[in-house]
Amino acid sequence: MIKNDLFLKALRGESVERPPVWMMRQAGRYLPDFMKLKEKYDFFTRCRTPELATEITVMPIDQIGPDAAILFSDILVIPQAMDIEVEMKPGVGPWLPNPIRSQKDVDRVNVPDVADALSYVYDAIDLTKRELNDRVPLIGFAGSPWTILCYCIQGQGSKNFDKAKEFCFTQPEAAHELLQKITDTTIAYLKLKVKHGVNAVQVFDSWGGMLSPVDYQEFSWKYIQQIVNALKAYTEVIVFGKGCWFALNEMSKSGASALGVDWTCSARNARYLSGGEITLQGNFDPSRLFSPPAEIKKMVHEMIDAFGKDRYIVNLGHGILPNIPVENAQAFVDAVKEYGS
């Protein structure tokens, strides 16, 4: 039995004394102990070493006390498993030296045996579950097929992912074939995560907002829906689409347990667009964690009042920034724990 199950109660729509809180990228660069490990080990070494991934996952639970842990990993382990080379370049971020640009390139993409290709992730889950000892739930995650495709074709991060969009609009058959391969791999990957003990999964559609509502349906949402359909019988599924407020209504009918909301969509609009019955997660502007702790606490309480304490998970509207003071992240978590007391 998980001792602190507030997060799972909120996902199930049960009434709670206060909403649960966690932060996207909470196992990350704002923590001094994380930076010490970063100096010693490169990014994918940290991802591929179960002991390091576990230490990083549990670090924020011990140090700032959120109500859920999220496994330290990266969305780009999926293309790596599919025989697409991915590096993490200092100062650049994700770097794919051989981006996909043609049908021939798509033909070479492999749908792997995830148990073998991503065994280090499952080893990290096993180790993390032991280390957490049922204190809080553990979240597993994956990127949306569209977001993964963006990197596979662009070859790196981008402000507009113009090459990825061009590929989809000029070679739609190849694009859909690649999206389906990513989807099939992601479903297998997440299902096995659930078997290894994660208590919920989140799909990050970080670049969904790059698409128009019509193109979003064709190139992103229908693949996310396949993932939700495949997983919802086994676990709670959270879908987070950054910049995808226009799809909240359809997302709310998908069978997902919760929907993430970014900071550009108000609580009132998010409740209205999603029909008011589904759990929402978000949506504090990550940059607002630069505000003084007293102001952070006031804003967090206002945010909870706006969303309501039930069917709500307090989070940021995207990942925590690396230069946020630890005491400000602590104020964010503490504000939720103090709510209503």
Domains of the chain by start residue, with CATH: 6-338 (3.20.20.210)
Helix, strand, coil tally for the chain in percent (to 5) = 50, 15, 35
200 known member of a binding site: no
Q: Is 46 annotated as a binding residue?
A: no
Sheet with 236-241: list strands edge to edge: 69-70, 138-143, 200-205, 236-241, 258-261, 279-284, 312-316
Is 258 annotated for ligand binding? no
74 is in an annotated binding site: yes
- In angstroms, the CA 54 to CA 83 distance is 25
The pLDDT of residue 285: 98
Indicate the burial class of 15 (C-beta count within 10 angstroms; 0-12, 13-18, 19 or more).
Answer: exposed
Cα 57 to Cα 25, 69, 141, 219, 224: the distances in Å are 10, 6, 13, 32, 25
CA-to-CA separations, 266 to 18, 145, 204, 262, in angstroms, rounded: 20, 27, 20, 9
| Region for 9 from its dihedrals, namely left if φ exceeds 0, alpha if ψ lies in -120 to 50, beta otherwise | alpha
Q: Is 29 annotated as a binding residue?
A: yes
Could you give phi then psi for residue 182, rounded to 5 degrees? Answer: -65, -40
Cα 75 from Cα 336, distance rounded (Å): 28
Radius of gyration for the chain, computed over Cα atoms and rounded to the nearest angstrom = 19
The reply, when asked if residue 318 is annotated as ligand binding, is yes
Flag residues of the chain having pLDDT under 50: none
Q: Is 18 annotated as a binding residue?
A: no
Q: Known binder of ligand: residue 156?
A: no
Among residues 263, 249, 273, 259, which one has the least CA distance to residue 312?
259
For residue 220, what pLDDT is reported?
98
**Residue-level pLDDT at 189:** 98
The single residue listed with the structure tokens 């940021």 is 316
Q: What is the pLDDT of residue 251?
A: 98
- Under 8 Å between Cβ of 284 and 267: no
Q: What letter represents residue 69's amino acid? A: A
Phi, psi of 120 (to 5 degrees): -65, -30
In Å, how far are 55, 208, 217, 293 from 144, measured between CA atoms?
26, 9, 13, 34
pLDDT digits (tens, 9 = 90+) for 233-260: 999 999 999 999 999 999 999 999 999 9
Q: Each residue of 73-110: pLDDT tens digit?
A: 999 999 999 999 999 998 889 999 999 999 999 999 99
Residue whose C-alpha is closest to residue 223's, from 276, 144, 297: 144
DSSP category for residue 161: -
Whether residue 27 is annotated as binding a ligand: the answer is yes
**175, burial (CB in 10 Å: exposed 0-12, middle 13-18, buried 19+):** buried
| pLDDT tens figures, 13-36 | 999 999 999 999 999 989 999 999
Q: What is the pLDDT of residue 90?
A: 86
pTM passes above 0.95: yes
3-state helix/strand/coil string of 65-117: CCCCEECCCCCCHHHHHCCCCCEEECCCEEECCCCCCCHHHHHCCCCCCHHHH
Task: Tell me the average pLDDT of the chain.
Answer: 97
